[in-house]
């Protein structure tokens, strides 16, 4: 069973979801953005230790609370770690932030204009562990590069199949069929994705809901039918390579959609900052993203 308080917070909370889930492949890039160069670690353990320190610093910052950040998506190692001397999911819950876990294991090579998720043979064990740690939901990413209906239909089918496995484990799935914002066929891909997602939602058993994490559409308001769908708990948006300013402008044009930004949230933070500088910079980013999530352009 889903935790009802967490479900209510995600359904109606006035805020956004932080994405703190860069995984192995993207960690060096995330550390470089944080001001730590590649020579600063000698193995993967040290590298993951450094990124965990960064995430702990974010999670324990005075401005990172459920007042504006209603949820946070974690990388598996972050979920298993500690922040402020407590297991990370518990530390988040105590701050009023609902924990999610990234479950996908990366992308297959492109075929039919899309990149499907790689197989996840250990998913059931991960879901069980996440549930035992108090995690509310999951996130699973695949990527759409071209407006190929066959490819997009396959991605949506896979997203809903994994989502069913997550629901069966008593967790809330966040389906993330990301459209590459640099795609030459972005607007067409948006439209096909909308149609395929509506088919998938209509086929969901009565009483079930999922969340959707989507690229901001080329045409503002296109995803309104998803926002309004009774089988969608919440629609969230990724920043997808937009700067924070650009992402916030685009987000504010789309009613009912809140942010789930990663780079656009973290890109001004530096390892070398004093605590005051760090908390000030993070607080400003949180304020800007919160405003775009909650105050919509007319």
Catalytic residue list: 176, 213
**Are 141 and 108 a contacting pair, CB within 8 Å?**
no
Q: Which two tokens stand for residue 216?
A: 């901001």
- 137 forms beta bridges with 100, 172
Contacts of 133 (CB under 8 A, 6+ apart): 79, 80, 87, 89, 90, 99
Number of Cβ atoms within 10 Å of the Cβ of 184: 11
HSE-up of residue 178 (Cα within 13 Å, Cβ side):
20
CA distance 150 to 51: 38
Contacts of 211 (CB under 8 A, 6+ apart): 10, 137, 172, 173, 174, 175, 232, 233, 234, 235, 236
Q: Which residues of 35-59 are buried (b: 16+ CB within 10 A; e: fewer)?
A: ebeeeebeeeeebbebbbebbbbbb
DSSP-assigned states of every residue in 69-99: EEEEEE-HHHHHSEETTEEHHHHHHHTT-EE
CA distance 216 to 238: 7
Q: For residue 233, give the 3-state DSSP assignment.
A: strand
Q: Which two tokens stand for residue 86?
A: 């407590």
Q: Which two tokens stand for residue 277?
A: 């500088």
Torsion of CA 178, 184, 185, 186, to 10 degrees: 40
Kind plus residue range of the DSSP H or E element containing 207: none
């Amino acid at each position: 069973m889903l935790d009802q308080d967490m479900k209510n917070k995600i359904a109606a909370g006035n805020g956004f979801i932080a994405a703190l889930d860069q995984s192995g492949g993207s960690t060096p890039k995330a550390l470089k953005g944080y001001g730590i160069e590649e020579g600063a670690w000698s193995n993967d353990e040290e590298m993951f230790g450094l990124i965990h320190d960064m995430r702990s610093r974010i999670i324990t910052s005075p401005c990172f609370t459920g007042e504006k950040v209603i949820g946070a998506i974690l990388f598996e190692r972050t979920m298993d770690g500690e922040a402020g001397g407590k297991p990370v999911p518990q530390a988040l819950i105590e701050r009023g932030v609902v924990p999610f876990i990234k479950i996908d294991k990366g992308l297959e090579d492109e075929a039919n204009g899309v990149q499907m998720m790689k197989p996840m043979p250990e998913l059931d064990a991960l879901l069980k562990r996440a549930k035992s740690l108090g995690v509310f939901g999951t996130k699973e990413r695949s990527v759409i590069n071209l407006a190929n209906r066959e490819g997009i239909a396959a991605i949506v089918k896979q997203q809903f199949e994994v989502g069913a496995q997550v629901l069966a484990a008593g967790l809330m799935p966040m389906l993330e069929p990301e459209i590459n914002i640099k795609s030459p066929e972005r607007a067409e891909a948006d439209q096909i994705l909308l149609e395929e997602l509506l088919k998938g939602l209509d086929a969901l058993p009565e009483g079930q809901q999922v969340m959707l994490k989507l690229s901001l559409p080329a045409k503002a308001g296109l995803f309104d039918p998803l926002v309004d769908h009774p089988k969608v708990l919440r629609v969230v948006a990724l920043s997808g390579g937009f700067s924070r300013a650009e992402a916030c402008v685009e987000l504010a044009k789309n009613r009912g959609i809140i942010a789930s930004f990663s780079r656009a949230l973290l890109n001004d933070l530096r390892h070398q900052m004093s605590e005051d500088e760090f908390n000030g910079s993070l607080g400003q980013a949180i304020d800007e993203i919160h405003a775009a999530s909650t105050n919509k352009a007319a």
